[in-house]
């Protein structure tokens, strides 16, 4: 059962001058949302059931593809300790790298977004660097920074920087000139305009960038850990391949999916709270 919560819009009943044109919030929204969320579980559950049947019936040999029930056993073993260490190691790297990339992208993106002349100096270089696949940096980072944490975090920072930077610049360029003029009218300084008009107005783009940046961060952490690590989900992947245990590899993959989805959901919740003001289209059922 989904819990049905209906709420009235807190202002729709304050009738006043010119009212009657304000839009009431649809009451069935929460019910529909609950139902949609439930639908998302159908596909993975069906795939797991199908896999179990296929492996048990012997259509696929179990040394290549362990049955989901066997995976559960491996998962239970790993969950006694090792798995959490790997997840924690990777998550820590992702967060550290993502933070560095995001802070740099915010600073540089805001400056490039606001100033055409800075853009003319910087942007072509950044566009060229953006074209370099993240993995190409790995050898260089290993030579420069060694196989420790700093090379991994740098790689993640580079990977997450570009989507955030690109989206923020695009967002600032899309800010309504008419709103900027309101700032001109009040003789706002450039910094004030950035802080009070450009950045809030660019928020929808910024969040798209942050979420893309976060998924890039997970991509990069695996790349970094595949090459040189003794801990982390990427290490679990290499380990599974070396000892020919597809169950380890699959659990690592599932962990990546779960962690990626979890961190993205967290960011999405923040996004929805911050962008509550937005008067955007929300798709019908």
Partner 1 sequence: MTDVLSLDVHEKRFGDTLILDHVHVGIKPREVVALLGPSGCGKSTLLRIASGLDRDYVGQVRLLDHSRQQQGARRVAFIFQEPRLMPWLTVEENVSFSDGKRADTGRAHALLSEVGLAGWERALPKQLSGGMAQRVAIARGLYSQPDVLLLDEPFSAVDAFTRMRLQDLLLSIADSHSIAILLVTHDIDESLYLADRVLVMGSHPGTILHTINVPLPRPRERTDGRLSTLKVEALESLHGAHAF
Token output for 145? 């920074």
Nearer to partner 1, 19 or 150 (CB): 19
Query: CB-wise, 92 or 204, nearer to partner 1?
Result: 204
- Neighbouring C-beta atoms of residue 214, cutoff 10 Å: 23
Region of residue 189 (left: phi > 0; alpha: psi -120 to 50; beta: else): beta
- Look at the block and give the residue holding tokens 């009657």: 20
> DSSP string of 20-74?
T-SPPPPTTHHHHHHHHHHHTTHHHHHHHHHHHHHHHTTSS-TTTS--HHHHHHH
Q: What is the CA radius of gyration of the chain?
A: 24
CB proximity list for 204: less than 8 A, separation 6 or greater: 171, 275, 278, 280
Q: How far is CA 4 from the centre of its chain?
A: 29
According to the binding rule CB under 8 A, does residue 80 interact with partner 1? no
Residue 185 touching partner 1 (CB under 8 A):
yes
- The site for partner 1, by CB under 8 A, has a size of 30
**Contact between residue 233 and residue 221 where contact means Cβ atoms under 8 Å apart:** yes
- Which of residues 151 and 167 has its CB atom nearest to partner 1 in the complex? 167
Phi-psi region of 15 (alpha: psi -120 to 50; beta: other; left: phi over 0): beta
Site for partner 1 in 2-41 (CB under 8 A): 9, 11-12, 14, 16-23
What number of other Cβ atoms are within 10 A of residue 91's Cβ?
A: 18
Using CB under 8 A as the binding rule, whether residue 272 contacts partner 1 is answered as: no
Q: Which one, 6 or 9, has the nearer CB to partner 1?
A: 9
Q: Site for partner 1 (CB under 8 A): which residue of 105, 197, 227, 233?
A: 197
Which CB, 185 or 283, lies closer to partner 1? 185
Q: Is 39 or 178 the residue whose CB approaches partner 1 more closely?
A: 178
Q: What are the distances in angstroms from CA 109 to CA 93, 113, 175, 253?
A: 23, 6, 14, 33
User: Is residue 184 at the binding interface for partner 1, with CB under 8 A as the rule?
Assistant: yes
How far is C-alpha 281 from the geometric centre of its chain's CA atoms?
22
Assess 278 for contact with partner 1 (CB under 8 A): yes
Rule CB under 8 A: is residue 262 a binding residue for partner 1?
A: no
Q: Is 281 in the site for partner 1 (CB under 8 A)?
A: no
Nearer to partner 1, 104 or 180 (CB): 180
Of residues 202 through 231, those in contact with partner 1 by CB under 8 A are: 203
Residue in this structure with the two tokens 């059962």, named with its chain if needed: 1
Site track for partner 1 across 230-249, x = CB under 8 A: --------------------
Stretch that binds partner 1, among 50-58, 86-94, 173-181, 265-273 (CB under 8 A): 173-181
Q: Determine which residue in the list 131, 277, 281, 285 makes contact with partner 1, applying CB under 8 A.
A: 277
Question: Does residue 279 belong to the site contacting partner 1 (CB under 8 A)?
Answer: yes
Tell me how far, at minimum, the Cβ of 22 lies from partner 1, in Å: 5
Q: What is the dihedral of CA 244, 247, 251, 256, to 10 degrees?
A: 40
> Between residues 17 and 131, which has the closer beta carbon with respect to partner 1?
17
Binding site for partner 1 (CB under 8 A): 9, 11-12, 14, 16-23, 178-179, 181-182, 184-187, 192, 196-197, 200-201, 203, 276-279
């Amino acid at each position: 059962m989904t819990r049905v919560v209906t709420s009235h819009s807190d202002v729709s009943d304050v009738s006043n001058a010119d009212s009657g044109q304000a839009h009431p919030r649809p009451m069935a929204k929460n019910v529909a949302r609950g139902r949609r969320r439930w639908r998302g579980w159908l596909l993975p559950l069906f795939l797991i059931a199908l896999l179990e049947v296929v492996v048990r019936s012997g259509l696929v040999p179990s040394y290549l593809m362990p049955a989901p029930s066997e995976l559960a056993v491996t998962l239970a073993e790993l969950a006694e300790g090792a798995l959490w260490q790997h997840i924690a190691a990777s998550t820590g790297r992702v967060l550290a790298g993502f933070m560095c990339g995001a802070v740099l992208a915010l600073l540089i993106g805001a400056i490039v977004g606001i100033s055409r002349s800075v853009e003319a100096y910087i942007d072509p270089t950044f566009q060229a660097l953006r074209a370099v696949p993240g993995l190409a940096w790995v050898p260089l980072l290993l030579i420069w920074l060694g196989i420790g944490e700093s090379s991994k975090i740098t790689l993640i920072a580079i990977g997450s920087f570009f989507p955030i930077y690109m989206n923020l610049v695009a967002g600032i360029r899309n800010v309504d000139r008419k709103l900027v003029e309101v700032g001109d009218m009040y003789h706002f300084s450039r910094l004030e305009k950035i802080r009070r008009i450009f950045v809030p107005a660019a928020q929808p783009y910024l969040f798209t960038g942050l979420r893309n940046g976060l998924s890039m961060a997970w991509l990069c952490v695996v790349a970094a850990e595949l090459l040189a690590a003794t801990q982390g989900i990427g290490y679990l992947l290499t380990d599974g391949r070396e000892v020919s245990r597809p169950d380890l590899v699959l659990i690592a993959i599932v962990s990546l999916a779960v962690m990626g989805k979890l961190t993205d959901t967290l960011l999405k919740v923040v996004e929805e709270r911050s962008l509550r003001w937005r008067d955007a289209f929300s798709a019908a059922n």
